[in-house]
Amino acid sequence: MKKIKIFSLLLYCMNVIYAQSVTINYSSPGFGANCNIFAVPITSPPTSPILYQGLEHTTSVGFPSYSSTEKAIKLQEKAITSGSDGCTQYAIKYPFKKNYNYKIMVNCRSIRGTGSLSLPIIKLNLSDDNMGINNSTTCSGPSPFDHALHYATYGAYAVPQTTSFDLSPALINGTLSKNYNYLLVLAAPADLDWSTYPNIISSIFVKSIEITETLPAPPAITFTLTPSPIPLTCGSSTTQIFTANNVNNSPGTITYNWILGAGNGWNYLGSAAPASFTTTTNTITLDSYNSYVSNVQVQPVVNGVAQPTLTAVTSFSYVPYWNYSVSGDASICSGTSNPFVVNGLLPGSVVTWEINTRISSPGNNGGTVVVGNTTTLPNQITLTQVGNGVVDLVAHVTNPCLQTFTLQKNDIYVGNYSTSPTAINGYILAWPQYGYNNGPIYNGINYNPSNYGPPMYSANVVAGLQNNISITSPSLNNATWALITGNVQNLSFYNGGNNFGFTPNDFNPILMRLSQSGGCGVNEFDFWFYPYQYYPPYYYRISPNPTKDNLLVGVNEDKLAKEKIAKSINQDIKEIQIIDKMGIVQTKQTFANGTRLQNINVANLKIGIYTIKIYNGKEWISMQFVKQ
């Protein structure tokens, strides 16, 4: 008699799906004494397979029989010396469904054969077929069957030898990844009996089988929004179809809340799209009417429950900065104004201008060289001369797609060019490995001291070193250099006079004058260069050098760490002396033990080159610096 318990039902996608528990109870009478109770009689026409409690049963291995004493199916097993097993197996046809959870237990007991030390094993497996049909009634007992080669067992249980029937653990327990058609029930010997106890028959009695089928949980409500990202070309119109995809076809009443934001730049149904609106369809079409359009968001609402908000992000192709340029006359003469324009901008771009003064000649009111007026056009600035000097013009551009870039117009010469040179800060001529003014000394002017090899620290001076000055700025291509004062040798001009080199003969300052011709005449700039006598710094350093007012003197802790030298009191600064070029001590200070960093005020010193001597308690260390 079939006993079916309905656990639950679910109306899903308009189909009724049941979850049920089926107990196949073999204790009811009705089986005969046939040694193969599931054999199909050979008749014409053929008889259908055996149905028991409405489920098809077939024998696939050996000869299942029925024990009227136990009121249970009897399955025999034995070990065979050849290495294969003597087994009994039958199949139950049952519609096992993908994604459903199944828990299958067997109510059984065993009788172990005399001499066998191992309990017989019952194994359950799910299969697409019944493994063949054995209709023989020869009653020859367990049949050879290498079950390990036929299927991977879902569950196995060593059936105890008890006086009563017990329910096994769940031999199959989990969610199926595919559909199956059959449950295979197998009796097999334990591995221990293969060689030790051959041909001893043990029996398993199956009173009932419980199949609990649990309905799968409905798939999670999941939506996606496509396309995302939104591929766009800055400055071009576009039409986009947006779809909120119901990934798992979740049922119910669904609405869609679309969120674009104020000033979103989209058209919807022929007019400017509102900040938000609701549809019952999952698709909308939007057209861009502006260079910039906003992200698109949607929040599905299923049966009144709001789902997570999805976002499609706008992705604009990059507009390269070289599509744009700043044009304008690089010379602004006295009393004139010049316009400068950013060319190639997209409509809606925003330009912020920046004026950087590189040189301001003496006499300028507050150092101002030009003033800018941006009230004409959004991409234009007009510079008006109010002083003399050189400026750079910088345009910070934000296009309508919120991409930013910077353009520059360098070396704009402003004002009256005169014979009164503009003084530029002095530069120390030093060995390149010590980092004094290597590279640019002024925008477009580079200092490149030659390196004839490692210096001999005791007395080497850069006064004997060839020093090269070069011009790399395009706007300085017509500049020329001239020696005004200084004792040098090997002075040579090349590249049309733009570049020069020289070797100082002594430590006296050298004055070189740069003459630059522009649209308003000639302007001159004076550069002072100071030959530098180098003394070994050991583990001390000074900065800045040159300096105007303060000089920071300290132990070079980084060098100590790099060379793995431990800190010591012998590195402390005990005394500092500053000596001018005549050998006169201008400043003298002593310090307490443990001083490793000290700020020295040199604001009262005259402009020139000085020697600083540091005493660490054992020896004096000398270096030079320039006071500006």
Tell me the C-alpha distance between 242 and 284, whole Å.
5
**Ranges of CATH 2.60.120.260 domains, the chain:** 3-214
Task: Report DSSP state, residue 396.
Answer: E
Can you give 7-21 as a three-state secondary structure string? EEEEEECCEEEEEEE
Task: Report DSSP state, residue 279.
Answer: E
Higher-pLDDT residue of 454 and 62 is 62
Task: Report DSSP state, residue 582.
Answer: T
pLDDT digits (tens, 9 = 90+) for 296-316: 999 999 999 999 999 999 888
Looking at every residue in the chain, the average pLDDT score rounds to 79
Q: How confident is the model at residue 240 (pLDDT cuts 50, 70, 90)?
A: very high
pLDDT at 222: 95
Tell me the C-alpha distance between 322 and 232, whole Å.
20
Q: Phi-psi region for residue 400, left (φ > 0), alpha (ψ -120 to 50) or beta?
A: alpha
pLDDT digits (tens, 9 = 90+) for 24-60: 999 876 776 678 888 876 655 556 678 888 899 999 9
Residues 611, 596: contact at Cβ < 8 Å? no
The pLDDT of residue 576 is above 90: yes
pLDDT at 10: 33
Out of 3-12, 164-173, 334-343, the most confident range is: 164-173
Angle at CA 214, nearest 5°, toward 211 and 217? Answer: 165
pLDDT digits (tens, 9 = 90+) for 150-204: 555 678 999 999 999 999 999 999 999 999 999 999 998 876 555 555 678 899 9
The pLDDT of residue 294 is above 80: yes
How far from each other are the two terminal CA atoms of the chain, in whole angstroms? 112
User: To 10 degrees, the CA torsion angle through 532, 535, 536, 540?
Assistant: -80
pLDDT at 47: 61
The pLDDT of residue 438 is above 60: no
Q: Which residues contact 572 (CB under 8 A, 6 or more apart)?
A: 555, 591, 593, 594, 595, 596, 616, 617
| Percent of the chain surpassing pLDDT 90 | 32
The CATH class that applies to domain 321-414 reads mainly beta
Tell me the C-alpha distance between 498 and 478, whole Å.
7
Is domain 3-214 annotated with CATH 3.40.50.11810?
no
The pLDDT of residue 516 is above 80: no
15-19, 329-333, 359-363, 469-473: which range is least confident on average?
15-19
The pLDDT of residue 14 is above 50: no
pLDDT at 25: 93
**Ranges of CATH 2.60.40.1930 domains, the chain:** 540-627
The pLDDT of residue 443 is above 50: no
Q: How confident is the model at residue 454 (pLDDT cuts 50, 70, 90)?
A: very low
Average pLDDT over residues 287-295: 80
| Six-digit token string for 520 | 């308003």
The fold of 223-317 is Immunoglobulin-like (2.60.40)
The fold of 540-627 is Immunoglobulin-like (2.60.40)
CATH code of the domain made up of 422-531? 2.60.40
pLDDT at 488: 84
Out of 63-72, 314-323, 405-414, 578-587, the most confident range is: 63-72
Tell me the C-alpha distance between 20 and 137, whole Å.
35
| Six-digit token string for 156 | 């196995």
The enclosing H or E element of 562 equals helix 557-562
Average pLDDT over residues 58-67: 91
Higher-pLDDT residue of 321 and 302 is 302
The pLDDT of residue 8 is above 60: no
Tell me the C-alpha distance between 461 and 534, whole Å.
6
| Six-digit token string for 21 | 């528990």
Average pLDDT over residues 135-159: 77
Average pLDDT over residues 526-532: 69
Out of 75-84, 377-386, 467-476, the most confident range is: 377-386
pLDDT at 460: 29
79-93, 126-140, 298-312: which range is least confident on average?
79-93
pLDDT at 412: 84
| Percent of the chain surpassing pLDDT 70 | 78
Predicted structure pTM score: 0.42
Higher-pLDDT residue of 300 and 508 is 300
Residues 90, 24: contact at Cβ < 8 Å? no
